Amino acid sequence: MARFRPDLSDEPAVRLDGVSLSYERTGEVLSEIDLVLRQGSFTFLTGPSGAGKSSLLKLMYLAHAPTRGGIRLFGRQTYDLKRKQLAALRRRIGVVFQEFRLLDHLTAFENVALPLRVAGQKADAYQNEVIDLLRWVGLGERVDAPIPSLSGGEQQRVAIARALINKPDLLIADEPTGNVDPEMGRKILRLFAELNKRVGTTILIATHDLELLREFDSPVLRLANGLLVRDVEYGGAE
């Protein structure tokens, strides 16, 4: 697995100050959120369905802008960023989606390599790195496998490798164990914990699986009705 080099400055990876988010049809879904994720931390986000977890994650990976309040990522205020600056900031963030979002007509290797190919890199420049990542997630023998031939757990691990290929400083995972069995869910979370411990990547995982949470000694943020009812500023996997 390639070694990543996150920014180890004193600035938090993520800072939200009084952030609220409203949608035209549903109204306010997040209200006055104050949150700090220290660089190198490993944190869980939980709460019932409809609490606003996915909306909060979308704010953090810049898919949405807040209705009120401010967001700072790696010390940069996000509200006034130009398009190129926004794109550069997004490249520091990896996202793992519950529904995988893989392309069925591509192999595992091709899915993981896609962000690099889109960026204009040549295959010979990234081939070994992609293979190393697939080996790290336990898919060294499935590099050339078509996506439909992979199990749900294997597809999720391809999605994790794809999220890591750009060496992000911040990794956000939205219910990454939601479509796999409990044992595979544990394996996936252990991969995240290893990444955090070995490399120092800041990790935030949204999950409703309280059994899995009990197996990890990490801070937990809780959302209820759009409110952050527990906020932990510092922490990390030990």
Q: Is the dihedral of CA 99, 17, 71, 231 positive or negative?
A: negative
Q: How many Å separate Cα 61 from the centre of its chain?
A: 8
Strands 220-224 and 68-73, sheet pairing:
unpaired
**pLDDT tens track for 51-110:** 899 999 999 999 999 999 999 999 999 998 898 999 899 999 999 998 899 999 999 999
Q: How far is CA 68 from each of CA 59, 63, 82, 188, rounded to the nearest angstrom?
A: 12, 15, 19, 35
Per-residue confidence (pLDDT) for residue 133, from 0 to 100: 95
Domain with CATH 3.40.50.300 in the chain: 9-92+168-238
**In which residue ranges of the chain is pLDDT below 50?**
1-8, 232-238
**Residue 93 belongs to what H/E stretch?**
strand 93-96
Q: Is 53 helix (H, G, I), strand (E, B) or coil?
A: helix
Q: Look at residue 229 in the predicted model and tell me its pLDDT.
A: 81
Q: With beta carbons less than 8 A apart as the criterion, state whether 177 and 188 touch.
A: yes
As a whole number of angstroms, the distance between CA 11 and CA 73 comes to 9
Partners of residue 173 on adjacent β-strands = 96, 205
What pLDDT was estimated at residue 9?
Answer: 54
- pTM of the complete model: 0.88
Separation of alpha carbons 39 and 47, rounded Å: 23
Tell me yes or no: is domain 9-92+168-238 CATH 1.10.357.140: no
